[in-house]
Structure 1
Amino acid sequence: MKITHYCLSALLLFAVAGCDRLEQDMLSVPDDTTLDRYGLDTLKLGDKRAEVGKQLDALLDKPMQCTPGKTGLGDKRKAYLLEECSGVPVAGEVGKLWGEKLSFFKAVFVEDQLCSLELQLKTSGDYAALYEAHGKKIINLFGKPDEANAKGVRWQREGDEAVLKDLGDGNISFEIRNKKVVQALHHKG
């Protein structure tokens, strides 16, 4: 068995897709230096609220519900504008991403810039079909994984991080965040 077998079970959590397919896809992975910021399709971390708001709402069955506030960042004594937006559940789902059901959605903006996305996909659990449909797209968005194990995959850049986790029963958690901002958020005012 090839060493990339463990990567298959972790990479995108689509454990039963063929090793050969993963190896082929990994050969065409973009270099980290060609990736600007992490994000979904055309929206990226750091994008302005006005630019990504409509794209995020398009994923959802109902418009995002947002709560404004203020927060501190680390030890700085300045209050920053914070906006947390969530998807409104309708019959257990909030929308769709790449044709899969979204059961949870949360976006965080600091000073009108997207700094975090948390999504939970409720899928059929057929990981081979999911990899076939979405695997290459995700690899192209995030590049070569930095960490992979049987429960999840982590991609890291200097300021950004993306984490994909298998929650079981076909549920997949996807978190994309600006590491520095998310770590520095310490209280809401």
Structure 2
Amino acid sequence: MKITHYCISALLLFAVTGCDRLEQDMLSAPDDATLGRYGLDTPKLGDKRVEAGKQLDALLNKPMQCTLGKTGLGDNRKAYLLEECSGVLVGGDVGTLWGEKLSFFKAVFVEDQLCSLELQLKTSGDYAALYDTHGKKIINLFGKPDEANTKGVRWQREGDEAVLKDLGDGKVGFEIRNKKVMQALHHKG
């Protein structure tokens, strides 16, 4: 199906600015083979806790609040170290990403590696301006989308997945995760 069929919704409904430009941006996007792991500019899935933690804390108003635990993965009987970190609300937001306010932030580390990020941006709701500012950057980070519909966009690789959603009222959700690890998590101890 042609990319233009998704122009109204693709990339978080940013395409209001023009189907031709969006189509060109998507066609010139990097292929999966040229991309590393999914992530936000510098912190990427699989990064070690210390490095990723510093980069993620730099986005936040206050350092991440983390809880430690243990988890099982799939049918493996071994307990793995699990750390779930979230942002602390200060004045209605937890931090800033790409010049937009973050209203929600959560990171999950398993065995000291970043396995999942969930973010929510509070924007003006002007998707045309958002695309002008961030659309090309997002396409360059994640490559050619695998799915696009009226609610958002999904990128998938063998082990990783990124989902960009329109949550309404100018709220934009990002979920970036290692599919295999996050699906295998089944209990905390």
TM-score (norm 2): 0.96
Deviation string 1:48-84 (CA, Å, 9 cap, x unpaired) is 0011111100000000000010000011000000000
Distance in 1 of aligned mates of 2:7 and 2:185 = 32
Map of 1:59 onto structure 2: 59
Map of 1:111 onto structure 2: 111
CA contact (8 A) 1:147 1:153 kept: yes
Map of 1:174 onto structure 2: 174
CA contact (8 A) 1:10 1:152 kept: yes
Map of 1:94 onto structure 2: 94
CA contact (8 A) 1:60 1:95 kept: yes
Map of 2:141 onto structure 1: 141
Cα RMSD for the two superposed structures: 1.1
Distance in 2 of aligned mates of 1:3 and 1:107 = 32
| Cα displacement (A) at 1:20 | 1.2
Map of 1:75 onto structure 2: 75
Map of 1:11 onto structure 2: 11
Q: Which amino acid aligns with 1:20?
A: D
Q: What SS is found at the alignment partner of 1:40?
A: coil
Distance in 2 of aligned mates of 1:163 and 1:8 = 17
Q: What SS is found at the alignment partner of 2:12?
A: helix
Distance in 2 of aligned mates of 1:127 and 1:113 = 33
| Cα displacement (A) at 1:186 | 0.4
| Cα displacement (A) at 1:176 | 0.1
| Cα displacement (A) at 1:26 | 1.5
| Cα displacement (A) at 1:27 | 2.4
Distance in 1 of aligned mates of 2:33 and 2:27 = 16
* Structure 2 unpaired stretches of 5+: none
Pair 103,21 (structure 1): closer, same or farther in 2 beyond 3 Å: same
Pair 61,3 (structure 1): closer, same or farther in 2 beyond 3 Å: closer
Please show how residues 34-49 of structure 1 align to structure 2 within 5 Å: 34-49=34-49
Pair 126,35 (structure 1): closer, same or farther in 2 beyond 3 Å: same
Q: What SS is found at the alignment partner of 2:144?
A: coil
Q: Tell me how many residue pairs correspond in the alignment.
A: 188
| Cα displacement (A) at 1:24 | 1.8
* Structure 1 unpaired stretches of 5+: none
CA contact (8 A) 2:12 2:152 kept: yes
CA contact (8 A) 1:163 1:174 kept: yes
Distance in 1 of aligned mates of 2:5 and 2:19 = 6
CA contact (8 A) 1:164 1:173 kept: yes
